[in-house]
Structure formats: C-alpha cells, structure tokens
C-alpha cells in the first residue's frame, strides 16, 4: 500500500509541476498570431507558363577584348577536360572535341552524337552564343545532354571563350567591343513595326 501511495503522490506532484510550468511559460511568452495565413491557398487554376525567355546578357565583346587567355586555359583544364578534348584531331569524349568550336556549325563535329536540341538550334557557335551557353547550357538549348551548371561570372566566361578561340587554325576575329551585337531573329517581336 505504501508503494501505491508513493507512486500516486509522485504522479500527482509531476502533473501539478507540469501544469505550473505551463501556466508560467504562457505568462512569460505571448505568442504572436498572424492576421492572415502566411501562405495563401487558392482554388483557382494555375496560369499556363509561357516559354522561358533567354537571359538578357550584356554583349561579351568588351570582356573578350580584355580576356585573360591563360586564365581561360586554367578554367578549361579545371572545368572541361573531364568531358572534352581541345587538341586538333583529338577524340570525342562524353562531349565533342572543342578544337575549332568558335565559328563551327552547332551539332556538326564528326563522330559525336548530339542531342536533338543542339542539332535543331542551327547556326554557328558565335561569341555571343558561347557566352549564353557557358552561362547555363540547359537554358540556352533545351534538352541538351550537357550537365554543366554554368559559369555565372562574365569575365570567366570571356576568359574561357578567349582560350577556346585560340584552339583554331584560323580564329574568327574578335567582335568590335564598341558595337552591340545584332538582335537574334527569334527574339524580334512579331507584328510590330520597326522603329526608325
């Protein structure tokens, strides 16, 4: 009987202690209740998202004019050599050989199986296209197999492009750093008259 009384007393004392602690803590801490929910929930249908617009980048020409080719080579060795070779006549790896990539037709290196997105993109690898590609390949060409997150720093992209330019028997001339690049035809608004 003594054991039961002791156990019951301990239980009641614990319950009383918990109740007192709860009352004291409520008196010390006043919780702030929101006037409206932090996350609004709606029954409305989500709006259909249109195609993502390509990132607006400043022209790469001014940065190319002061590109550090040695730094570009270091970036190439650090970021690209796992998947690409850059020597003339070098083999394809996970990605195509990059000798002569500046000015080369997209999706055209012999013996490499390109994604349909790269093949459909068309045109040549211009300095501006390489700038967009190196910023984020998956945003520039949807469906690319290239799993590279991208280079966010503009000068690093310019340095790498400057290095890739040297991997060529006849490098294309650098763009004029004072001229803006011509707008891509697919970015021109449809049905609007040209401003003069």
Which structural domains are found in the chain, ordered by start?
61-180 (1.10.760.10)
Following CA atoms 115, 168, 135, 108 in sequence, which dihedral angle do they give, to the nearest 10 degrees? -10
Mind listing the pLDDT tens digit for each residue in 67-81? 999 999 999 999 999
Query: What does the alpha-carbon distance between residue 67 and residue 102 come to, in Å, rounded to a whole number?
Result: 15
Q: Among 150, 177, 148, which Cα is nearest to 60's? A: 177
**Are 60 and 128 spatial neighbours (Cβ–Cβ below 8 Å)?**
yes
For 100, other C-beta atoms within 10 Å of its C-beta total 18
pLDDT beyond 70 at 187:
no
Residue 23 pLDDT exceeds 70? yes
pLDDT one-digit tens code per residue, 83-134: 999 999 999 999 999 999 999 999 999 999 999 999 899 899 999 999 999 9
- Torsion angle, CA of 126/185/112/130, rounded to 10 degrees? 30
């Amino acid at each position: 009987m003594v054991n039961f009384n002791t156990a019951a007393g301990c239980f009641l004392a614990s319950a009383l202690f918990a109740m007192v602690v709860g009352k004291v803590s409520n008196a010390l801490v006043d919780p702030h209740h929101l006037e409206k929910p932090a996350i609004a929930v709606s029954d409305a249908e989500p709006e259909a998202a249109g195609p993502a617009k390509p990132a607006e980048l400043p022209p790469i020409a001014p940065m190319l004019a002061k590109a550090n080719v040695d730094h570009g080579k270091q970036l190439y060795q650090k970021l690209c050599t796992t998947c690409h070779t850059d020597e003339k006549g070098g083999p394809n790896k996970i990605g195509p050989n990059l000798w002569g990539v500046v000015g080369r037709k997209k999706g055209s290196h012999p013996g490499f199986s390109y994604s349909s997105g790269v093949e459909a993109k068309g045109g040549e690898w211009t300095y501006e296209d390489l700038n967009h590609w190196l910023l984020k390949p998956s945003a520039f060409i949807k469906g690319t197999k290239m799993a590279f997150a991208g280079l966010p720093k503009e000068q690093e992209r310019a340095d790498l492009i400057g290095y890739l330019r040297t991997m060529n028997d006849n490098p294309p001339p650098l763009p004029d750093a004072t001229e803006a690049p011509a707008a891509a035809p697919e970015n021109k608004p449809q049905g609007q008259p040209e401003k003069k």
